[in-house]
């Protein structure tokens, strides 16, 4: 019995499955990423359909870890461990992709905030801030807002006000209405006399943008 044709056939079949896997995984992650801001529940379900994610390697693995962490956060699933998002931060730490690096450290900070570890959350968010200029506006907004929140919780009210102003500027420029309302509500809780006058200025800016 000639065994060579079977060996060749097996090798070819293995390569086909490998190619299909390499195609399906990136497409699933691209679809999940495209739905993240508008339909985070669907994004999470798509990511759950990826079988054997533990076999992913390199950037594919890092992207998956980042997207899954983001999807869980967007669906208000409280994080209890940093092991998943650490896959992303470890990979993007030394990469030239500052946009993904900023997002990875943003969500590392988010995870630590869920875990009530504000010291580590602050460290992660400061790392995100270092490469923030290359990040998309939505990521910039969250980095500033979270830094503002952590400083407010630490009674660093002046610094919190500084970060809320940065977040508001990004949110107003990009029409992020819900985030503007959240920022202004949080700003009102700052025990700083100058805040009240500044609120009026921001409301006037909103009138200029939306009327």
Q: Check residue 25 and give its pLDDT.
A: 63
Token reading at 82: 């940093």
Q: Check residue 134 and give its pLDDT.
A: 93
Q: What is the mean pLDDT of residues 194-205?
A: 71
Q: What is the mean pLDDT of residues 207-211?
A: 55
Q: How confident is the model at residue 87 (pLDDT cuts 50, 70, 90)?
A: very high
The whole-angstrom separation of Cα 73 and Cα 205 is 30
Candidate from 94-98, 138-142, 195-199 with smallest mean pLDDT: 195-199
Closest CA to 77 of 100, 101, 47: 47
pTM: 0.84
Q: Check residue 12 and give its pLDDT.
A: 45
Q: Check residue 198 and give its pLDDT.
A: 73
Q: Check residue 78 and give its pLDDT.
A: 98
């Amino acid at each position: 019995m000639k065994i060579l044709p079977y060996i060749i056939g097996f090798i070819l079949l293995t390569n086909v499955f490998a190619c299909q896997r390499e195609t399906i995984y990136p497409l699933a992650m691209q679809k999940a990423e495209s739905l993240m801001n508008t339909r985070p529940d669907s994004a999470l379900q798509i990511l759950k359909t990826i079988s054997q994610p533990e076999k992913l390697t390199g950037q594919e693995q890092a992207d998956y870890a980042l997207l899954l962490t983001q999807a869980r956060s967007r669906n208000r699933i409280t994080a209890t461990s940093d092991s998943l998002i650490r896959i992303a931060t470890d990979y993007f730490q030394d990469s030239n992709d500052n946009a993904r690096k900023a997002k990875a450290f943003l969500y590392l900070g988010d995870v630590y905030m869920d875990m009530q570890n504000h010291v580590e959350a602050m460290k992660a968010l400061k790392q995100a801030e270092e490469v923030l200029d290359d990040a998309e506006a939505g990521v910039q907004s969250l980095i500033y807002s979270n830094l503002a929140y952590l400083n407010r919780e630490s009674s660093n009210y002046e610094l919190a006000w500084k970060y809320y102003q940065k977040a508001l500027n990004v949110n107003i420029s990009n029409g992020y209405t819900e985030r503007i309302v959240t920022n202004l509500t949080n700003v009102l809780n700052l025990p700083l006399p100058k805040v009240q006058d500044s609120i009026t200025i921001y409301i006037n800016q909103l009138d200029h943008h939306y009327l």
